[in-house]
Structure 1
Amino acid sequence: MHSSVHQMEETLVATLIQLIVIILAARIAGNAAAAVRQPRVVGEIIAGLLLGPSFLTAAFPEASATIFNASAAPSVQILSQIGLVLLMFQIGSDFEFGHLRTQQNRKAAVFVSVASVFAPLCVGFALGRLTAPVLAPGIDPLIYSLFVAIALAITAVPVLGRILREYSLTRSDTGVIAISAAAANDVVGWILLAGITAFASAQLSMANSALQLVGLLILAAGFWYGGRPLVDWLLRRMPISEGQIPAQLVAIVLAAVFAAGIVTQKLGIFTIFGGFMLGLLFHRHREFVETWQRQVGKFILVFFLPIFFTCTGLRTNIFGLDSLSDWSWCAAIFLAAVASKVMPVYLASRLAGLSPEKSATIGVSMNTRGLMELIVLNIGLDLGFIPQDVFTMLVIMAVGTTIMTGPLLKRLLRRSGHPLPTLVEA
């Protein structure tokens, strides 16, 4: 008994050491990113990479082994997954589909949504079929190719929203079209990811995949027809008072988020999809959403999100790409990801009647991947859809496309005469 208690205490201490390093490193890196007009999430992602084998393990192996003690790895991994479920609830609840007021904006958003999903899916699938024999010889080429297609199609709504706010674009035509198209893009992307996950987890059985798809549709119908009235009733019974969500309502929502995750996991789909679906039920209640983000969401962003980034960084070994061939494929993936987003979105915007300047701004905005991409990539690695080296290449692509968005937007906006804000995001 004594030895088991001692072992538990040692594991707890190792976990707490990791959490201290992760939270402080993410905070410092986030501040540094904000100082150079990048979203905080960019600094947090880079901090995660620096704490992994790409820097800390290579430069200071003993310190890395001491801080990231293997005994604490399962605990930290579970914390990161709990944080993701809560974060996806928050992202789902923050989706805003009421931006589109004019017919031209609605038309442009539809055109951009289709182009931003269809073109990267086609390019990603073709790239997957091309690279499967070389980069993923032990993985089913169809599943691998479908996953690469999804990875190229994702746009990061949370990061894009922060960038658009920083550049005062949230109420402009370009910002409204970009964020609405990105929201639609991600909904389609998550549905496709859920379908691929169900298909693969059913061991390529069409019958089982069909049953899982039916189960998902039943769940979605239950959420829509039963969940929405229930949410309305809960918020009427337990209204926000003095800017605070009642503790009972917080407990009920947290339990519902985790229950939704369990249900989607039992359907053979990743648990975070349940949190996302439940969040969509709350997006009409803006007062609840804003209060939740202030009361609960800030803790999720400060505590849970850095843990996820660090877990991703610990799995990303840039030095694992140790040949010219590896880096050539990495460059090809990066260029394919950028070209398949920016160019089709630009052309779709022009077809919808937007000016070249606005079309270019939307094209660059939709290239943002960041957080959502990293979530998708971790799912792919966990489920064995992609090998380690391809995971690293796609992480580099996700970080690179996110970093390039801000400077390119700044240049485009300056050229078009759009006033740039003077304040740096805190």
Structure 2
Amino acid sequence: MMTHLLTLAHVVAALLITLALASAGRRAAVRLRQPDVIGEISVGLLAGPLLLAILGRQAFDAALPAEVLHVLTRIGQGALALYLVGLAHHLRSQAGRPNKAPVIWVAAGSLVPALLCGVLLAWGIDAFTNQAVRGTAPTPAFFLMTAVAMSISAVPVMARILTFRKMQDSLSGTLTMAAAVMIDSIGWLMLTLAICLNARSAGAFLDCLTALAVGAVLMLALRVALRSRAARLLAVGRTRLMAGFLALAACLMGYTMDSLGMTVILGAAMVGFAVPSGPGEQWNAAVATVSRTGRFVVPVFFVVTGVSVLSRSYGSASWPLLLATVALGIAGKVLGGYAGARLAGQPPAAAREVGVLMNTRGLTELIVLQAGVSAGILTGPMTLALVVMALTTTAMTGPLLSYLQRNTSLPEPARTPVVAV
């Protein structure tokens, strides 16, 4: 009994320290005119490896025992599941809107070159690195997973950047947000396919398809239940109670899919896609409550990732790998986004802003990488390189936008009708 109480006290202390570090990281990022999530992610990912370097392995294991780390891992996964309910719900609500031609051009320009850069990176790793970097995943799964990781956008972070810079109603802002929603929706489908392709036998692939079928049935059943009149009345009158129900459903679905050989992330996203959406929908308030709760605790996920994945990878990720990943990440998004905007008929100034904005990654990238690590497709060194790329490209967004706007004296041209997000 005393041992359990000590473990609980240790977990609570670790949680409080983690949340305090996240708060400090957010404040530091804001002072540097960066999105607060950049500071939160950076501090969380670096906390474990830095503590390990300072204390040494023996003292580090005493400060963060395996049983405490296990509980923190579960808490981090749960927080991520809750946050994903809101993210998937938002993507579904936006995906139902009509797609205008400029949005499709920008989405294609930002997605296809980035996918090709991901394939090029995967080919280089497959051809010129060892198994510690490449891993043992089947070639189709590895190539597709790398391509998805290089092409995914970051709708929540992008929305925050646009709001902070008062660009949410600008030509480049509306184009970019609508295209990012489309890209991330496609990205989730490709991520699911990559996990299925990781099956190493015909039987394992059939198990994967069975798991997806089970998940789809559960998702449809949940959707029917949530669309009922009684459920919608409860969503309005007992918002907190129904938010708790959604949180429980996300965790149960996540761990069910995980036990079937998929990932917690995919199961939680299914719950978000199942919740009815749209302007004025009764479930919106409950979803927002769940997502805010998960977003508050999700720094635990960053710390656990830093301890369990990245702390073992710093010596294995070479500088050529890091530089190639960052360079290809920038090229695929910035040049591709610019080309897509120009093909959509946008002026050079707006197209440059679109390219810079599409280069934003962030928390969405971390979620995709966690799915790749959980599925056994991505190794520690690969994850580290992609994390560095995500943080670098997102940190570039604000300064590059400031530079472009200082050097653009032409007034914004007449707006092309696009889908507002």
What TM-score results when the alignment is normalised by the length of structure 1? 0.85
Deviating more after overlay: 314-323 vs 31-40: 314-323
Q: Is the Cα–Cα contact under 8 Å of residues 48 and 314 in structure 1 kept in the other structure?
A: no
CA change 1:171–1:71 in 2 (3 A) is same
Equivalent residue, structure 2, for 1:238: 234
Instruction: Determine helix, strand or coil for the equivalent of 2:18.
Output: helix
8 Å CA contact 2:369, 2:383 repeated in 1: yes
1:94 match: secondary structure? helix
Aligned-residue offset at 1:100 = 6.8
Confirm whether residue 39 of structure 1 aligns to residue 16 of structure 2.
no
Whether 2:26 is the aligned partner of 1:30: answer yes
Q: CA deviation at 1:215?
A: 6.0
Amino acid at match of 2:254: G
Q: 1:272 to 1:240 in 2, by over 3 A?
A: same
For 1:275, the equivalent position in structure 2 comes to 268
Query: 2:244 touches 2:290 (CA, 8 Å); kept in 1?
Result: no
Answer whether contact 2:109 2:337 (CA < 8 A) is retained. Answer: yes
Asked whether 1:108 is paired with 2:102, we answer: yes
- Tell me: CA distance 1:349–1:118, structure 2 relative to 1, closer, same or farther (3 Å): same
Q: Which residue of 2 aligns with 1:173?
A: 171
CA deviation digits over 1:5-58, x for unaligned, max 9? 1221222122122112101010111111122221111111111133121x2222
Alignment counterpart, residue 293 of structure 2, candidates 296, 299, 323 = 299
In structure 2, the partner of 1:81 is 77
Contact 1:135 1:390 (8 Å CA) reproduced: no
Identity of aligned residues (%): 28
State the Cα distance separating 1:342 from its structure 2 match.
1.0
5 Å-filtered alignment, 1:130-149, equals 130-137=124-131, 138-140=135-137, 142=139, 143-149=141-147
SS of equivalent residue, structure 1 residue 353:
coil
Given that 2:263 and 2:375 are in contact with CA atoms closer than 8 Å, whether structure 1 keeps it comes out as no
Structure 1 residues without counterparts, runs of 5 or longer: 420-426
8 Å Cα contact 1:14/1:69 also seen in 2: no
1:89-100 equivalences in 2 (<5 Å): 89-95=85-91, 96-97=93-94
What is the CA distance between 1:234 and its match in structure 2? 4.7
Aligned in 2, Cα 1:404/1:286: closer, same or farther, shift over 3 Å?
Answer: farther
Q: Is the 8 A contact 1:116 1:153 kept in 2?
A: yes
In structure 1, distance between residues paired with 2:355 and 2:249 = 37
- Compared CA separation, residues 319 and 328, structure 1 to 2 (3 A): farther
* Between 247-256 and 57-66, the greater mean CA deviation after superposition: 57-66
The Cα of 1:173 is off from its aligned counterpart by: 2.4
Counterpart residue number, 2:334: 342
2:116 matched to which residue of 1? Answer: 122
Counterpart in 1 of 2:251? Answer: 258
Q: Please give the root-mean-square deviation of Cα atoms over the aligned residues, in Å.
A: 3.0
Aligned length: 404
Name the structure 1 match of 2:319. Answer: 327
- Please state how far the C-alpha of 1:74 moved relative to its aligned partner: 0.5
What is the rounded CA distance, in whole Å, between the counterparts of 2:213 and 2:343 in structure 1? 34
In the alignment, is the contact (CA less than 8 A) between 2:154 and 2:363 conserved in 1?
yes
Q: 1:381 to 1:222 in 2, by over 3 A?
A: closer
- Structure 2 counterpart of 1:29, one-letter code: G
CA contact (8 A) 2:211 2:257 kept: no
Look up the equivalent residue of 1:132 and give its one-letter code.
Answer: D
Quickly say closer, same or farther: Cα 1:321–1:307, change in 2 above 3 A.
Answer: closer
Q: Summarize the Cα distance change of 1:344–1:374 in structure 2 as closer, same or farther, 3 Å threshold.
A: same
Q: CA deviation at 1:162?
A: 0.9
The residue number in structure 2 matching 1:424 is none
User: Conserved in 2, the CA contact under 8 Å of 1:195 and 1:213?
Assistant: no
Deviation for aligned residue 1:66: 4.5
Does the C-alpha gap of structure 1 residues 299 and 11 become closer, same or farther in structure 2, counting only changes over 3 Å?
same
Letter in 2 for 1:127: L
Tell whether the 8 Å contact from 2:109 to 2:336 is kept in structure 1 after alignment. yes
